[in-house]
Structure 1
Amino acid sequence: MRLYSASAQTARQPRLSATDWISAGLEALLERGIDAVQVTVLAQRLNVTRGSFYWHFDSREALLTAMIAEWRARNTGVMVEAVAETETLEDGILALFSVWVDHRRFDARLDQAIRDWARHDDSLRSQVKAEDNARVAVISEFFQRHGYEQPEAFIRARVIYFTQISYYALNIEADEAMADRLGYLEAYFRSFTGRDMAPAVARAYREANLGDRHDD
């Protein structure tokens, strides 16, 4: 004899949103890779039944699609915002630098986890390539707004972007203190732009970042 209806049992479940499931999926991806993103495993992690999942998603594939969309919104969106309508070349380059060193804004671990997943998924590999192209295009357009002709704007965009992605992939951050990175600020700027940074701008940026940040 059933004492509780299915609806009553569901009502006793924690009220999770689609965002909760996406967050759980991303956490599992970061911790153990894409094979760990399974409905049963996530339900156990969230302490709910599988039925709670199907209130929000038709299938595991739908969740994976939502996770990819979340990655795109976080990591490409913040990059677009960084260089949008910047008044000077220095403003835009320093805004990109700030985004890339602040993992609350640009999630470097998530970017690498998505790339690891894409090595075994042809469809995702194509999406990652498209996203890389979109990011480079945004930076290229920024360079063009500040006086660079094509193809120089595009090449400089590729150089600055793929340098940073390689920096994450090689995990150089683990061995390089923020003070050391800021010590290279003017040299990086000159390398990426072919121009010199105003000393006052470099000094203000260095002081602000050394004052506000602590290395993990």
Structure 2
Amino acid sequence: MAERPILHRDDPQKAPLVGHVKVTREDWLNVARDILVSDGVAEVKVLAIGERLGVSRSSFYWYFKSRKDLLNALLDDWEGRNTAVIEAHCALDAETITEAVCNFFRCFFDPELFDQGLDFAVREWSRRDGKVRKRIDLADSARISAITAMFERHGFTQYEADVRARILYFMQLGYHALDQAEPLRDRLARTEGYLLGFTGQPPRQSELEALFAFAREKARR
């Protein structure tokens, strides 16, 4: 019987693992994340992940103490992927507040920056787990704080920065929660108005062009 290849799911360019070569900790996490997003946390099981990877469950214990340890690692991975990305993009240098908001928007045009499916899978998980709910609340607070600081750096008062940050953040999450099937051209056509509404200032044409080029490049992938 032919050996079944085990793909590095994070990078299809990597050579597959075969036979009795142990998979990596990253492989276990990647498959666990896929299952979390597609099927929910109840289906994130050691045996099921091992079957997908084509290895025995004993491989799991090289990297994790238990299923609980794996779930905690998934939460850490989610925060590192999604919350840290938003914080980093809000902290980027920008000459204007509209350019700063464009930096924020980039997170949501590129699934490699912000994993929307993962974010909502963790939110669904939190409905049944109080500890995860606390992690969600802390993440939302950190993200809103980063956006608030972004507005404050561009001259907004603390109160106005906080309000505008919440409008921007809650709109962005709501947009994806509704699973909008909006064509990219329509989404981009509204961007100038969105920026004016969120900041009270019209964007520069160069800012729009840079964001549009970024969004179109990501859409082609």
TM-score norm. by structure 2 comes to 0.86
User: How many Å separate the matches in 2 of 1:163 and 1:59?
Assistant: 37
Counterpart check, 1:194 vs 2:200: yes
Query: Which region of structure 1 is more displaced relative to structure 2, 80-89 or 18-27?
Result: 80-89
Aligned CA distance change for structure 1 residues 59 and 146 (closer, same or farther; 3 Å): same
Question: How much identity, in percent, do the aligned residues show?
Answer: 34
User: How many Å separate the matches in 1 of 2:139 and 2:219?
Assistant: 31
Counterpart check, 1:24 vs 2:31: yes
User: How far did residue 199 of structure 1 move?
Assistant: 3.2
User: How far did residue 85 of structure 1 move?
Assistant: 3.7
User: How far did residue 189 of structure 1 move?
Assistant: 0.4
Aligned CA distance change for structure 1 residues 42 and 194 (closer, same or farther; 3 Å): same
User: How far did residue 215 of structure 1 move?
Assistant: 6.7
- 2:109–2:215 CA contact under 8 A, matched in 1: no
Q: 1:149 aligns with which of 145, 148, 157?
A: 157
Any idea what the Cα deviations from partners look like across 1:1-43, whole Å, max 9, x if unmatched?
xxxxxxxxxxx63322211111111011112111110111111
Aligned length: 202
Counterpart check, 1:60 vs 2:60: no
Q: Which amino acid aligns with 2:183?
A: A
Q: Which amino acid aligns with 2:94?
A: E
Aligned CA distance change for structure 1 residues 59 and 148 (closer, same or farther; 3 Å): same
Q: 1:103 aligns with which of 97, 111, 114?
A: 111
User: How many Å separate the matches in 2 of 1:158 and 1:205?
Assistant: 22
Any residues of structure 2 matched to 1:195-214 within 5 Å, and which? 195-206=201-212, 208-209=213-214, 211-214=216-219
User: How many Å separate the matches in 2 of 1:29 and 1:17?
Assistant: 19
User: How far did residue 196 of structure 1 move?
Assistant: 1.4
Any residues of structure 2 matched to 1:8-23 within 5 Å, and which? 13-23=20-30
Query: Which region of structure 1 is more displaced relative to structure 2, 14-23 or 177-186?
Result: 14-23
Any idea what the Cα deviations from partners look like across 1:111-147, whole Å, max 9, x if unmatched?
1111111111111011101100100000101111110
* Secondary structure of residue in 2 paired with 1:20: helix
- 1:179–1:210 CA contact under 8 A, matched in 2: no
- 1:28–1:34 CA contact under 8 A, matched in 2: yes
User: How many Å separate the matches in 2 of 1:180 and 1:47?
Assistant: 44
User: How many Å separate the matches in 2 of 1:125 and 1:210?
Assistant: 32
User: How many Å separate the matches in 2 of 1:203 and 1:60?
Assistant: 47
- 1:177–1:215 CA contact under 8 A, matched in 2: no
Larger Rg over CA atoms: 1
Any idea what the Cα deviations from partners look like across 1:100-119, whole Å, max 9, x if unmatched?
12112110111111111111
User: How many Å separate the matches in 2 of 1:210 and 1:92?
Assistant: 16
Q: 2:189 aligns with which of 167, 170, 183?
A: 183
Instruction: Identify unmatched segments of 5+ residues in structure 1.
Output: 1-11
* Secondary structure of residue in 1 paired with 2:219: coil
User: How many Å separate the matches in 2 of 1:87 and 1:27?
Assistant: 35
Q: Which amino acid aligns with 1:190?
A: L
Any residues of structure 2 matched to 1:19-98 within 5 Å, and which? 19-88=26-95, 89-98=97-106
Q: Which amino acid aligns with 1:195?
A: Q
Hey, what does 1:4 align to over in structure 2?
Answer: none
RMSD: 1.7
